[in-house]
């Protein structure tokens, strides 16, 4: 287990990888209408040949004359040879769990997989290195084309391909080792980097890949910095090295990423024991450093709240960006739409006031006051027109207050009754809509309860998958494995003030408020909820 963990942390060095270089000759260009006539495979490790496999095969079809001219393999040469069915098992045994290598791997592996499929055998699922794709990535500008014969001639490889399987395999093996040497200049020293390298085709900033050479393959936080060591972008990853290198791939061609990589002059990192700690540190640094390439939406100002204005004579529900100690506030919700859904769910069965007229304690409605449109439809009461019954309204306020304080049974019952009526009337879309409202309301209240419990719990310690977390009022104070304390400043190059936990409690006036601690509290609350961790 220790060896496996070490290999996962550092990647498999290329010198330790067993490569199985493969080549086939066929009776045509498609596996559907042509069979394999020859297979050769050579295993290499550390640059040295360790084993080889080479057989002629009866393709069970006539070999076209142009194929005979190209390969020199004729019908008479393969007539008495075993078929692919007889050779497939020995070939798979030879390959074992090695890494497959081929020049235009899709062709060779495609033919072999077609044969496996015909025999109802599992297809090849090995890691694959395609020397054609690697050559296009590393030396395309230096050669007329990337055919194996052209590369072997221009690079003066020890072996030259002649369209016979073994000769082509030996030439491909020479090419593989040449390309590995070229790839090392881009910080490619391990298998995962070599496999990913072709996906970084023609990236204008590919020269900066060398900046990733010392990045670990462990969980943590990474920082892109400029020439002045100012933070440009912060991210978290379960594999720092793999994630940072992925920015140079073809899938990361967005304009924003291109500009970021252009001015980026260095990459720093902080290793963490787990992804939760990485997410917390990422949140703290974004909140304090405000890197120019991190979205504004990753900060606490994206949150919305639902407030019930019980401090008013005629309380109503409002969506707000700023929580208040007055009344009852629940949240935060990650979007305004989510908060609005909660309000709509409650107001669809509880006819609260929706009046926008400001009504002070001595408010007296004018004699000609009109009833609000929602009240005329029977969806709300209308205090601003003087038509609302204070006694009945007080009862409604009590029901909504209980709901927001974590006792939603009455509101859920009303919503459920409404859902059943729609269903009985065969208005299934309306019934499904209310069902979703019920689920969203229950989920929001449960999340609110758990976040409040986390903040109210003071100092607590919990363990998950061998990692011990020390939390104070919803703020992560320490993370450790057994007796090993997490040291966040290792290799970071980042100021300490970006990492220290916020001093204030996240619990103020019995509601989560918008502070630097907010993202962190929500992050830890999600983790506790997802992993069903008891915090009582």
In whole angstroms, give the CA distance from residue 462 to residue 395.
Answer: 42
21 neighbors 101 (Cβ within 8 angstroms): yes
In whole angstroms, give the CA distance from residue 535 to residue 454.
Answer: 7
- For residues 443, 444, 447, 448, the Cα torsion angle rounded to the nearest 10 degrees is -150
Sole residue written with tokens 């919503």: 415
Main-chain dihedrals φ then ψ at residue 339, nearest 5 degrees: -65, -40
The SS3 assignment for 249 reads coil
Which of 126, 163, 268, 464 is catalytic? The answer is 163
What pLDDT sits at residue 148? 97
In whole angstroms, give the CA distance from residue 58 to residue 163.
Answer: 17
129 neighbors 194 (Cβ within 8 angstroms): yes
Query: What sign does the dihedral 389-395-401-407 (CA atoms) show?
Result: negative
User: Domain spanning 205-300: which superfamily?
Assistant: GIY-YIG endonuclease (3.40.1440.10)
In whole angstroms, give the CA distance from residue 71 to residue 25.
Answer: 8
Query: What sign does the dihedral 229-232-234-240 (CA atoms) show?
Result: negative
Question: One fold for both 13-192 and 205-300?
Answer: no
* CB burial of residue 434 (10 Å; 0-12, 13-18, 19+): buried
Mean pLDDT split into 10-residue runs, the chain, 536 residues? 39 90 92 87 96 95 92 93 95 96 96 94 95 92 93 95 95 96 84 82 70 87 91 92 81 68 90 90 85 67 84 89 84 85 92 79 70 79 83 92 91 94 92 92 84 81 88 85 60 51 45 57 85 78
Active site residue 498: no
What pLDDT sits at residue 343? 93
Residue spans of beta strands (DSSP E) within 103-247: 128-130, 220-225, 231-237
**Cα 224 versus chain centre, distance:** 19
Residues 6+ apart with CB under 8 A from 315: 308, 309, 327, 352, 353, 397, 400
Angle between helices 518-530 and 275-289 (to 10 degrees): 160
What pLDDT sits at residue 9? 41
Instruction: List the domain boundaries for the chain.
Output: 13-192, 205-300, 303-455
Sole residue written with tokens 């990474």: 222
The CATH number of the structural domain formed by 13-192 is 3.30.420.10
Pair of tokens at residue 119? 């025999």
In whole angstroms, give the CA distance from residue 283 to residue 348.
Answer: 37
* Half-sphere exposure of residue 327: CA atoms within 13 angstroms, side-chain side: 24
Main-chain dihedrals φ then ψ at residue 203, nearest 5 degrees: -70, 130
Closest CA to 445 of 348, 524, 284, 333: 333
The distance between the two most distant Cα atoms of the chain, rounded to a whole number of Å, is 110
Q: Give pTM, 2 decimals.
A: 0.60
Segment (H or E) for 308: strand 304-308
What pLDDT sits at residue 361? 60
């Amino acid at each position: 287990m220790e060896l496996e963990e070490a290999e996962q942390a550092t990647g498999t060095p290329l010198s330790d990888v067993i490569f199985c270089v493969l080549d086939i000759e066929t009776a045509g260009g498609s596996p559907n209408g042509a069979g394999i006539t020859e297979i050769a495979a050579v295993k290499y490790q550390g640059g040295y040949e360790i084993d080889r496999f080479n057989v002629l095969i009866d393709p069970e079809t006539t070999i076209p004359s142009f194929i005979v001219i190209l390969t020199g393999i004729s019908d008479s040469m393969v007539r008495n040879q075993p078929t692919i069915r007889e050779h497939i098992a020995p070939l798979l045994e030879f390959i074992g769990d090695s890494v497959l290598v081929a020049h235009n791997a899709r062709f060779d592996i495609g033919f072999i997989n077609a044969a496996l499929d015909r025999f109802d055998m599992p297809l090849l699922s090995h890691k694959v290195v395609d020397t054609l794709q690697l050559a296009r990535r590393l030396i395309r500008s230096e050669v007329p084309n990337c055919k194996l014969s052209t590369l072997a001639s221009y690079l003066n490889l020890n072996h030259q391909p002649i369209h016979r399987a073994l000769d082509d395999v030996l030439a491909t093996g020479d090419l593989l080792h040449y390309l590995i040497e070229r790839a090392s200049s881009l910080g490619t020293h391990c298998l995962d980097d070599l496999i990913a390298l072709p996906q970084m085709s023609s990236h204008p900033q590919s020269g900066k890949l060398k900046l990733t050479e010392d990045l670990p393959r462990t969980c943590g936080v990474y920082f892109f910095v400029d020439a002045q060591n100012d933070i440009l972008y912060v991210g978290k990853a379960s594999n720092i090295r793999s994630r940072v290198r992925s920015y140079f791939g073809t899938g990361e061609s967005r304009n924003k990423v291109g500009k970021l990589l252009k001015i980026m002059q260095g990459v720093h990192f902080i290793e963490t024991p787990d992804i939760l700690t990485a997410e917390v540190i990422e949140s703290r640094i974004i909140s304090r450093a405000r890197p120019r390439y991190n979205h504004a939406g990753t900060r606490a100002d994206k949150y919305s709240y639902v407030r019930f204005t019980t401090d008013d004579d005629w309380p109503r529900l409002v969506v707000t960006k700023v929580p208040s100690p007055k009344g009852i506030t629940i949240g935060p919700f990650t979007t305004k739409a989510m908060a609005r859904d909660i309000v709509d769910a409650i107001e669809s069965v509880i006819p609260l006031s929706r009046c926008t007229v400001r009504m002070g304690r001595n408010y007296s409605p004018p004699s000609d006051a009109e009833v609000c449109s929602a009240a005329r439809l029977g969806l709300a009461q209308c205090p601003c027109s003087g038509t609302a019954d204070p006694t009945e309204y007080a009862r409604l306020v009590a029901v909504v207050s209980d709901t927001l304080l974590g006792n939603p049974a009455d509101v859920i019952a009303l919503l459920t009754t409404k859902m059943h009526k729609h269903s009985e009337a065969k208005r299934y879309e309306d019934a499904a809509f209310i069902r979703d409202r019920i689920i969203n309301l229950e989920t929001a209240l449960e999340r609110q309860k758990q976040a409040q419990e986390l903040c109210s719990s003071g100092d607590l310690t919990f363990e998950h998958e061998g990692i011990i977390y020390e939390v104070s009022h919803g703020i992560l104070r320490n993370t450790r494995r057994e007796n090993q304390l997490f040291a966040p400043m290792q290799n970071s190059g980042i100021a300490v003030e970006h990492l220290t936990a916020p001093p204030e409690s996240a619990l103020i006036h019995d509601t989560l408020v918008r502070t630097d601690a907010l993202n962190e509290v929500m992050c830890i609350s999600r983790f506790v909820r997802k992993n069903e961790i008891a915090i009582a």
